[in-house]
Structure formats: structure tokens, C-alpha cells
Chains A and B, each alone.
Chain A
Amino acid sequence: MSDALDPYIAVHLRERLVTDARIGEQDLQTEIVAGAVVITGEVGTEERRTAVSEVAAEALGDRPHRNLVTVVRSDGAVQREEMS
């Protein structure tokens, strides 16, 4: 069965990514684009982003995937807001 005919492969991968002990992040999305599973979203650390690729490789075997996950940024300048 080709990936195009197997829509569950992406949702099953997402379930595995979210629940894997190396990742544990919910803000991950997966979809099949041009025969490859594309993973997007944000995680808290670079280590978790790397783990996304590891888990995807374990889960998908030879099927192609692209890890487009980014790491949350929190280095913006602190801004104050007057509430009243």
C-alpha cells in the first residue's frame, strides 16, 4: 500500500511522537505530503527535536520523512504592558 493510500501512518506516528519518553510534547503535527511524512510543530529543546527524527526513523523504517519541527523561542525582549 502506498503512503497516499495509508492515511493512518501519519496519525499513528504523531501518537508515537507525543507519547515517546524522549519527546513528551503535544504540539506536533504529521501529514503526508508527496509521499513523505512531514512533521511540524514546536518542542522545548534541541534534544527533543533530534528525538523526533529518531522516533520517526524507528517508526517509519524506509519510508521517507521530513522533520520540520522547531524549538520554542523565548529570547525576545521583555515588554511591559500597562493594564489600566
Chain B
Amino acid sequence: VIRVAAVGDLHVGRDSHCPLGTEPERLLDDADLLLLAGDLTRVGTADEAEVLAAALACIRGFPVVGVLGNHDHASDAGSEVVSTMRAGGVVMLEGDTTVVSVDGVRVGVAGTKGFGGGFPGACATDFGEAEMRLFVQHSHALADTLAVGLGSLDADVRIALTHYAPIEKTLKGERPEIYPLLGSYFLAEAVDGAGAHLAIHGHAHHGCERGVTPLGTPVRNVAQPVLGRPYGLYYLEPEE
């Protein structure tokens, strides 16, 4: 069994206390790896990332994999957030992949922030004003990196890690009017195209935890306001 801990939307700032709960060392007993589903910081500065990296120092060496969220871009310093987290031992994915070995089982993670655009029946299209086309093209481009990443993974278990949501189901609780700002079906297509075993996302604070892609991949919204606990913990059975 592979034990995956996951949480997103920590929104860590200089004023944050115990972003991973009061006993982060418990991760070492609970899980085999930790996934961070974006919005690591409040407004995307290196000093905020340093607070989170410091909170993770007590589990240094434990596999932690993350992606950025929209908040991490709020100061146009996403690259500084990434480098600070990497210096703290976190594998930060930006359209690329990593493989964690757990007792000989290869757990592959493909990660991207992802972006919005909406879902079938109510989605933006690559048409019209340049700004709208850029919006959709950006979403497409990030989903494409997820598809390529998942498809390239040589792993026993494949996990998609994003900030934005791949499906509508885990947005239930949010106002439907803002669904196009919360995710895109492009991400679900990437997950289903590769037959991933699990998709993890955040971003939707008022959504719900559990959903599934059209072709059956479980999706979990791990935004901390949704979980109400330090992290979600998902047990995956590798295929024989």
C-alpha cells in the first residue's frame, strides 16, 4: 500500500503558525510522501516560502512534492518561491515529473499549477479577443504538460498534482458562476488520457473532497479549508 498525504492552500505568511498542524513529524508515521497542491504562500514572496520551508525542516528527507498556486504568483516572484522551497528539500513540479521509490514501488507524480477555463457546457474557447485566447491557450498549455508528464512516467503508480480542479464535482459548494475560474476539463482529459491512479488538487475552498474523472480516476480536493485537518491521507494499492 502506498500512503499519500496531501494538502493545498496553506496560504503561509509571516503570521502563520503550524501550517502542517502541531505535529508535522506525524507524517513520518502516517505517510510515504506528502503532496502540496499549490497556494503554498499567501501572496507569493520568498520570505513566506521560507516560513513553510522552516515548518518542513523537521521532516527533512521525507519526500515532499509540490506545485505552485495562483497565490504563489501574486507578487510575480513564483520562481523565488520555487527556489526557496527546493532549497528546503521540496521537489517543485512545473509541468514536469518526479518518481519516489516506496519500498521498491515507483510512485510517479506529474505536476502543474493548471489554470481555469471551465467545464463542458460552460467553458471558455480559444476564440475572440487576444486576451481570451491567451487565457485559454495558457490553460491548454499547462494541461498539455500534465498529459505529457503522466504519459512519460515509468512508474507503478501515477498521480496528477495540480492546484486548479480537473472536474466540477469537487467544486460543489462553490458558486457555479466562478467554476471557470476554478478549473478546467483540459486537466481531466490529461488525467484520463494517461489513466492516472489519483488526481489531487486544491484551490476550491468551498468545494468538496471527493470526485472522479469521466473515465474513473479518483479526484481529491485537498484545499485545507475543505479538509479541516492537517492533510488528507489516501492509501493506494499498486497494480500487480
Contacts and interface: CB of A to CB of B under 8 A. Distances in A.
Interface of A: 21, 24-27, 42, 44-45, 47-48, 72-84
Contact of A45 (B17, B198, B236): B17
Overall SS of chain B's interface:
loop
Given A72-B224, A81-B235, A45 B15 contact: yes
A74 B227 contact: yes
B120 interface: no
Contacts, number: 76
A70 to B, nearest CB: 10
For the residues of A in contact with B, the DSSP-based class is loop
Given A80-B30, A80-B235, 9 more contacts: A24-B11, A42-B205, A47-B15, A72-B224, A75-B229, A78-B229, A80-B233, A81-B232, A83-B197
Interface in B223-240: 224-225, 227-237
B13 A83 contact: no
Interface of B: 3, 10-13, 15-17, 21-22, 26, 30, 42-43, 71, 74, 197-198, 205-206, 218, 224-225, 227-237
Given A24-B43, A25-B42, A27-B205, A44 B13 contact: yes
